[in-house]
Amino acid sequence: MSLVNKEEGVCMIKITDPMGKALLTQSFNCEDKKIILNVKGFAQGVYIVQVLKNNEWSKTQKLVINR
């Protein structure tokens, strides 16, 4: 997932399972164009990735892990 962002401050990324259970939440600098998340322990399947910017969900994307 890439972000085109001119915001400053702290953003948050959250990965949930299809039932909405949060599996990973990580803060990052909003100016970063790329962050690395460790999903090594995640089982094969479909997940939802959400990005919070300025206290609003700004982007949602599906993540498919296929090993």
Domains of the chain, start order? 10-65 (2.60.40)
pLDDT band at 9; cut points 50, 70, 90:
confident
Encode pLDDT of 20-62 as tens digits: 999 999 998 888 777 888 889 999 999 999 988 877 777 899 9
Q: Are 38 and 30 spatial neighbours (Cβ–Cβ below 8 Å)?
A: no
Residue 21 neighbours by CB under 8 Å, 6+ apart: none
Burial class of residue 12 in the structure, from the number of CB atoms within 10 Å of its CB (0-12 exposed, 13-18 middle, 19+ buried):
middle
Match 């998340």 to its residue by tokens. 37
- Which tokens hold the place of 12? 């948050």
